[in-house]
Amino acid sequence: MTKRPRSEETLDTVLQGDGPAQTKQRVEGPLEASTDLTRILSWNVETPVPFLQLPTTQARSATTAGVTAGSNPSLLRDILRRHDYPDFVCLQEVRARHTDKQWIAALRLAANHGAHDSSPKYTLYHSLNKGTRGQRHFGVVTYAKEPHSVVATREVDWDAEGRVLILEMASGWALVNVYALNGSEYMWRDPLGRASPKTRNERKREFNRLLMEECRQMQKRGLRLVLIGDFNISLTKKDCYPRLRTEYPHGLARQEFREQFIPGLDVVDVFRELHPETKAYSWFAKGKPQGKDCARVDYALIERGLRDKVVGMVYLEDPEERGHSDHAPLLLTLRGMPAPGQGMDSTTVPGP
């Protein structure tokens, strides 16, 4: 999507080491001339309120846990500028309801804060909590720099919390923004009351099964899949510090994800494919020194057939990149994604 000139800069930086003691190391080679790249940034922001410019009454109620609404309105735009304006930006945990018109307007403004005529503008797509009561939770948004490449955007009918947003591209692939449940034995209740109550662990496993089936249906239509976001699961011991939770039901959810979800969709964990032994993390416990309690729970999962499209992937673990959030953004770079007409019959893709 984005034309890049030749550069001696490398694309990807990863953190290597054991536990908290880590050093940055360059791992990718220089870019080729006129490389056609698609760059996707994903970030669980924990709450977007620092970069939301809200009316005074809403700003006061949105301020929580020492995070002040509107305290850093350029935060999101600054991250995008530092990373050369990615083509797509997927945010999770935006904590808005679908009726929050002023929140939605503020989210739209946040990605374009201070934008000049010559700088990129982003179009907002969202999937938000349909509940009308209770605290603001959940919600995902995806920004597109080139909205003409998007032919359909949709939510899924089995989720009312705003945890899944799908963008289908004219070029035959789909970007799936995911904010999966964090399992626990607390009760989960459907915001619309359509599903029976169950534990969050039960719903987590159900969510993964439903997402897998949703993705299978897209594959049957010829769409190539790129799933990205916070999956709230660590796959191996290398993905946690100091330990991986293996007790029931956490171990069962992980087993199903590894043995059913990943092979069922024939997707690969991009970072682990590129760096089999590297320890890197995307979630960091607050109130503790960096690296003392952390996990890799945010992923880019792509179809195996797209593996040769991968240029690099990096977790932006630096505290400056994380800002107020307990999650680090990740940046995925792909080369030469399918051109229009490749990989599917364009007539099978519904319009916007």
Q: Is 143 a catalytic residue?
A: no
In a domain, 248, yes or no: yes
**Percentage with pLDDT > 90 across the chain:** 75
Among 126, 275, 324, 327, which one carries the catalytic annotation? Answer: 327
On whether residue 344 sits in a domain, the answer given is no
**pLDDT (tens digit per residue) in 89-146:** 999 999 999 999 999 999 999 999 999 888 999 999 999 999 987 667 899 999 999 9
Total domains, the chain:
1
122 is catalytic: no
Handedness of CA 225, 228, 230, 236 (dihedral sign): positive
129 is in an annotated binding site: no
Higher pLDDT: 132 or 165? It is 165
Asked whether residue 205 is assigned to any structural domain, the reply reads yes
Quick check: 81 pLDDT over 80?
Answer: yes
Choice among 87, 159, 230, 298 that is catalytic: 230
Residue 159 lies in a domain: yes
Which residues does 63 contact at the CB level (< 8 Å), separation at least 6? 49, 69
Q: How confident is the model at residue 269 (pLDDT cuts 50, 70, 90)?
A: very high
Instruction: Tell me whether residue 326 is annotated as binding.
Output: yes
Structural domain contains residue 347:
no
Is 93 marked as binding a ligand? yes
What distance lies between CA 249 and its chain's CA centroid?
A: 24
CB 146 within 8 A of CB 208: no
- Expressed in angstroms, the distance from the first to the final Cα of the chain is 20
- CATH value at residue 139: 3.60.10.10
Q: Out of 125, 143, 179, 315, pick the active-site residue.
A: 179
Inside any domain, residue 174: yes
Tell me the pLDDT tens digit for each residue of 177-197: 999 999 999 999 999 999 899
In a domain, 26, yes or no: no
What's the pTM value of the predicted model, to 2 decimals? Answer: 0.88
230 is catalytic: yes
Q: Is pLDDT at 296 greater than 50 in this prediction? A: yes
Residue 23 falls within a domain, yes or no?
no
Containing domain of residue 137, as a range? Answer: 37-335
